[in-house]
Amino acid sequence: MNLELRARPRLAAGCRLNEPNQGSRMLLMPERALRLNGPSLEIVERCDGAHTIQQIIIELQKIYSKAEPERVEKDILGYLTLLQEQRALDFAIEDTPGKS
């Protein structure tokens, strides 16, 4: 699947993080839960309808500055594709952040 770098992903209806005080962080969705580790949590927290995919990539490249930037980008696109296949994301391609 092709993801557009200017698209703003946000969690789809029925997808949300569990509470921070509940031990490991999980992405909860209909009849399913994904355990989130460091980078995947960083990505999901930025799927807020405000960040574009390009912005998520830039911010994570800064956080994981020891990793190859191309590798970070590839991993992020791979993870967003996985989330989309789980029907966990909606994408807005508009100029106004937060709308869909």
Partner 1 sequence: MTAIVLHPLALIAELTHRCPLHCVYCSNPLELMARRFELSTEEWTRVLGEAGKAGILQVDFTGGEPLARPDLVELVQAGRASGLYVNLITSGMPLDERRLADLVKAGLDHFQLSFQSLHEDDASEISGTRALEQKRQVVAWVRAHRVALTLNFVIHRQNLEQLEEMIAFGEESGAGRMEFAHVQYYGWAFANRERLLPTREQVERSITVLQQAEARLRGKVRVEYVVPDYYAKYPKACMGGWGRKLMLITPSGDVLPCHAAQVIPGLRFGNVKDQALQEIWDSSDAFQKFRGEAWMREPCQTCDRRAQDFGGCRCQAFLLAGDAAVTDPVCTLTPQRAIVDEIIAATNAATPAAIVTKPDWLYRANPS
Which residue from 29, 56, 57, 76 is in contact with partner 1, where contact means CB under 8 A? 29
Which helix (H) or strand (E) segment holds residue 11: the answer is strand 8-11
- 30 contacts partner 1 (rule: CB under 8 A): yes
CB of 34 or CB of 58, closer to partner 1: 34
CB of 5 or CB of 33, closer to partner 1: 33
Residue 20 tokens, joined: 């921070």
User: Distance between CA atoms of 11 and 37, rounded to whole angstroms?
Assistant: 17
Smallest gap from Cβ 30 to partner 1, in A, equals: 4
CB of 30 or CB of 38, closer to partner 1: 30
